[in-house]
Amino acid sequence: MAANPVLKGGLRMLSAFASSGLAERYGVEDQARELVERAAKLGVDLLARGGAKKAPRDPAAPKVRFDLTPTESQELLRSTMRRFGEEVLREAADEADVAMRPPAEVIEMAGEIGLVELAVPEALGGAAEERSPITTALLAEELGYGDMALGAALLAPVSVAHLALDHGTEAQQKDLLGRLTAEPFVPASAALLEPRPLFDPRKPATKAKKIGGEYRLRGEKSMVILGQSARFFLVSAMVDKDARLFVVERDRDGLTIEPEPTMGLRGANLCRLRLRDVEVPASAMLGEAESFDHQRVVDLGRVAWGALAVGQARATLDYVKTYCNERVAFGEPITNRQAVAFMIADIAIELEGMRLLVWRAAARAERGKSFTREAHLARVQCAAMSMKIGTDGVQLLGGSGFIREHPLERWYRHGRGVAVMEGGLSA
C-alpha cells in the first residue's frame, strides 16, 4: 500500500530538522530525533490500519456531526511545525527583528524541510494529499506561535504556491511550482497592499495596460514580505475593471525595491515595490479571466493572517501564565490576585474565539463554499483581539513587559500589524 503523501512529507521535514545545523545550534537534536521516531511509529500504525478492513459502524453509536479534531496526518505536521516554531523561530526572532530580515539559515531550513512541497499536491511534484486551507491554517498557527514575523516570511513562498494552484494555468503551475520546489530554495512573495488611505485590496491603484503582446505595470506596493530576497513577486493590478495577479521577476527594468522599516513584523523583511512601466509578457498574468477569483485571493489572505495571530495569542497566553505563576509578590504568586487571574482567563477565552472563526473560514474554503463573510469576521476579531491580548500581555509583566529581555514587547508590536496587513499570504 502506498504511503500517505502528507505522512511522507512530515517525515522528511522531521528528518531534515533533526539532522540540520539548526537543531544542533539550538540544542534540540535529541527532541527532534525523538519526534522522528514517534512519527515513524505513527506511519507504521497508519499503514497497518489502512490494510485492514474497516469495521462496520454500530447503528446505536451516536453520529458525530461536529468534530474539530485534526487528522493524524495533520497532527503529525502540526507537531513538527510546533517544535520548529518554538525552538527555532522563537530563538531567531530577536536577531531577525534587529536585522529586519530573517536569518539566512532559517530561510535555508525552510527549503530543506520541504515547507513549500507540503502545500503542493503529490501529482504536481509535492507531498500534499490535496490543497487544504485547514492544514495551512494549522501550520500557520504553529509558525505564529514561534514568531509571527518569521512565520509570515516562511509562509510567503507557500502562499505563492497556493495562488498558482488555485488560479494558474497548467503551464503556469508547472513553471511556478517547479521553481518553488526546486533546490536551492527559491523565495517568492505576493504583493497586494498599497500605501494609500482607505485601501481596498479588491481594487488596487496599480494599473496594468496591455500593449501588443505585453502588459505594462505602473504603481506601488507596500509592506511586501521578503522584498529583498524574493526572486519573483505576484503583483496585483487592475486590468480594465478587474483585479489580476502578474508574475514579476525582481530583475525587471523599472522595478525598484526599498526596505520599509515598520513598527512590527520587522523580521519578515517588509519592503516597498515601485513599478515604473514594468513590462511583462502576457503569459505573466496568472490564470484565465473566466476562472480567476480575486475575492478568494483576498479572503484566503485574511484567513492566513488570522491563523498567525492565533498562534501568537497562544504564545502570549503560555508565556504570561508561566511568568505570573512564578512571579511572587507579598509572599504569593501574583496569579492569586483576581485581577491577574481574570486577565489571563480573558486571553484564553478570546483566543478560543479567534481560533474558531479562523477554522470556520478555512473549513468553508476547503469545502468550496463562499467564505467571504467568515474571512472578514476572522480578520476583524483577530485584529482587535491581537491588540488587546498584546496590551494585556505587556501589562501582566509590568515593567518587564517593556524591555527586550522578554518577547512580549515584540509580540505586542507584531499584533498591531494584523489590522494593517492585507494579502501577501494565502491559507
- Supply the CATH number for residue 337's domain: 1.20.140.10
> Do 123 and 269 share a domain, yes or no?
no
Mean pLDDT of the 232-236 span: 97
359's grid cell:
477554522
What's the mean pLDDT in 282-287?
Answer: 95
> What's the length of the chain?
427
Domain count for the chain, please give it: 3
Are the C-beta atoms of residues 305 and 425 closer than 8 Å to each other?
Answer: yes
Answer for the pair 230, 187: CB distance below 8 angstroms, yes or no.
yes
Which of 22-36, 127-141, 342-356 comes out lowest in average pLDDT?
22-36
Q: What is the largest CA-CA distance in the chain?
A: 78
For residue 406, give the 3-state DSSP assignment: coil
168-202 residue pLDDT tens:
999 999 999 999 988 888 899 999 999 998 899 99
The answer as to whether 54 is a domain residue is no
110 shares a domain with 169: yes
Yes or no: say if 25 and 17 are a contact pair by the CB < 8 Å rule.
Answer: no
Please provide the distance, in angstroms rounded to a whole number, between the alpha carbons at the two ends of the chain. Answer: 30
Report the distance separating Cα 175 and Cα 171, nearest Å: 6
For residues 91-103, give the mean pLDDT. 95
Clarify whether residues 172 and 211 are in a common domain: no
Together in a domain, 78 and 144 = yes
Span of 86-100, 127-141, 255-269, 300-314 with lowest mean pLDDT:
127-141
Report pLDDT for 22. 53
Question: What are 140-172's pLDDT values in tens digits?
Answer: 999 999 999 999 999 999 999 999 999 999 999
Residues 368 and 390 in one domain: yes
The span from the CA of 228 to the CA of 269, in Å, is 7
Q: Which domain holds residue 317?
A: 294-419
What pLDDT is stored for residue 73 in this prediction?
A: 86
Helix intervals (H) in 113-211: 133-146, 148-167, 170-180
